[in-house]
Amino acid sequence: PIRSLRADPDFQRSDRRRLLFVLFEGVPLFWRLDLDLLARSLGGDCGYDVGNPAARGTDWSLSHSALMNAVAATKALLRGQHENAAGLLARAFARVGLAMPICDPGRQIIALGEGIRRMHPEVEELAVEVLALSQQAFGLDASNR
């Protein structure tokens, strides 16, 4: 079963393109499906509607998106991609209007998850999962921040 299905706002009103993000029930957060759908008439042109304001929609959860950035940052850190993780976390904190603490990235992920959980109860379940993922990946939790 599908747990969440989100459409990237950059292409929500595009006449020939959608970028979908799918989370499945019972599947690790790392295994999100990113599905870029293009009309056959585009011939695989992934640049179609990039930057087109008429293609842009507004149905997008900033808090959900920030939490998924935390998941991507966790994956990047585990792969040794520290600069990539730093960029993902900076965008996540900015997206939800939280100040990014000056500490190691694992603790930043915890701060982000806790902040979003407090501010946005509609994504509390996902925030708790992100916190559990960070604890598993880095051996950190709120008590040893």
pLDDT tens digits, residue range 47-105? 999 999 999 999 999 999 999 999 999 999 999 999 999 999 999 999 999 999 999 99
Pairwise CA distance, residues 63 & 5, whole Å: 15
Provide the number of structural domains found in the chain.
2
Q: Rounded mean pLDDT of the chain?
A: 94
In this structure, are 76 and 96 located in the same domain? yes
In this structure, are 92 and 134 located in the same domain? yes
In this structure, are 84 and 130 located in the same domain? yes
Residue 141 confidence (pLDDT) above 80: no
In this structure, are 103 and 70 located in the same domain? yes
- The mean pLDDT of 106-133, rounded to a whole number, is 96
Residue 139, pLDDT score: 86
Q: What confidence tier does 140 reach under pLDDT thresholds 50, 70, 90?
A: confident
Phi, psi (5° rounding) for residue 7? -110, 130
In this structure, are 70 and 44 located in the same domain? no
- H/E stretch holding 4 reads strand 2-7
Q: Which pTM was predicted? A: 0.88
Pairwise CA distance, residues 122 & 127, whole Å: 10
The range of the structural domain enclosing residue 106 comes to 62-144
Question: Other C-beta atoms within 10 Å of 127: how many?
Answer: 25
Residue 40 confidence (pLDDT) above 70: yes
